[in-house]
Chain A
Amino acid sequence: MKNIVKALLGSAAIAMMAAPASAATLDDVKAKGHVQCGVNTGLIGFSAPDDQGNWKGLDVDFCRAVAAAIFDDPEAVEFTPLSAKDRFTALQSGEVDVLSRNTTWTISRDTALGLNFAGVTYYDGQGFMINAKKLEGINSALQLSGAAVCVQAGTTTELNLADYFKANNMEYSPVVFEKFEEVNAAYDAGRCDVYTTDQSGLYAVRLNLTNPDDHIVLPEIISKEPLGPAVRHGDDQWFDIVKWVYYALVNAEELGISQANLEEKMNSDNPEVRRLLGTEEGTKLGTDLGLTNDFAVRAIKHVGNYGEIFERNVGADSPLKISRGINALWTKGGLQYGMPIR
């Protein structure tokens, strides 16, 4: 997910890059007829193939929304599965137009790596899961001194874990594995007391446990992992497009516009709705972006609003059943806040 070595390598690589990739991404995209989107090689709920081999997931759906906004066709997108190692170079070298690959927004990536993050499609954070039957009475991560902690190698998860235990003067013995399946199996077999990874990951782990009800997620979140789509520096128009497709999806949820009631909302008198859907007289909001005025309609029609994307892929309608939590709208106590479209 986040790999220090890869980041360093990436920044070295960027330093070597003389010229940024060609500027007019939108023109390139229109010329080739599809958006090239970098996604994870396989992350539960975010990007994974279904039985027919079609990509599904929250990150995937965001790319489909961008494609729908441009081409009115959610299939006008091609996915490049990227490992944590080559995701940044793929974006920099122009291999992909958008990197929607559960990438954490950090200052160094914004600056040294030359990325522009268009928003946060999922607020994640590292948490702990324990077997409550085995470790009775523990209800805080601060009680975990001396625990054996299962963690995946080579991720910032490992570093955050070390920082957290050191900061709180606690001892721990890491049980490190290379692969996600290995960590799961080790934790399920009781080889370690605690499992730590991003919270969205912990929900995925629960699907693989023999007795999921015995396990609880502790309340402490020890790191901030805002995940969002990124584009490369040097093309403000393309950055705006990706950014405002995201805000359009969030605004659609705020205004209660969904795939189901879109037709009906097209005739709405609410000026905010009319501005978002481009039905206002003489509006230039969409064309100023380089798209059509109904770009939000296209995205919502094919992919749904932010809430629908969330529920379908990671929320109540998916096996993961992640609650909205801080990913709820700001009106409902969350952090998702759609910038005004006007």
Chain B
Amino acid sequence: MNTKSQSYRSDLGRVRGLGSAKDGTHHWWVMKISSFALIPLTLWFVISVLNLVGGDQVAIQQWLKHPLQAIMLLLFIGFSLHHSANGLQTVMEDYIHSPLYKTVLLVLNKLVHVVLAAVAAFSIITLALKN
């Protein structure tokens, strides 16, 4: 291979910024961390929801009165929305080819997830602190 003699750019310099995401391993690593955290959190969430089935609004308040339960729900929703934002971002990067639509959707995706996180956090804390 004589590519090196034709260019002064390093191998790393030539491959950086390629691919549908124009980005390297950081996104992948962040997804690994959130998926790892979501394994126990999801199991906890499923058991909690099964305990709540058939209950009313008061049952939810009783459940989230315990600080540990409220904190676990905050963590579950936080990691889920983070994971969801990053997952949808990858889907958009892969399937949407128009740079304009892609940019608009990527920004909307982040904003909607941040709004959802704010609404969820406010609601959980409200429920947790209701006498």
The answer to whether A binds B is no
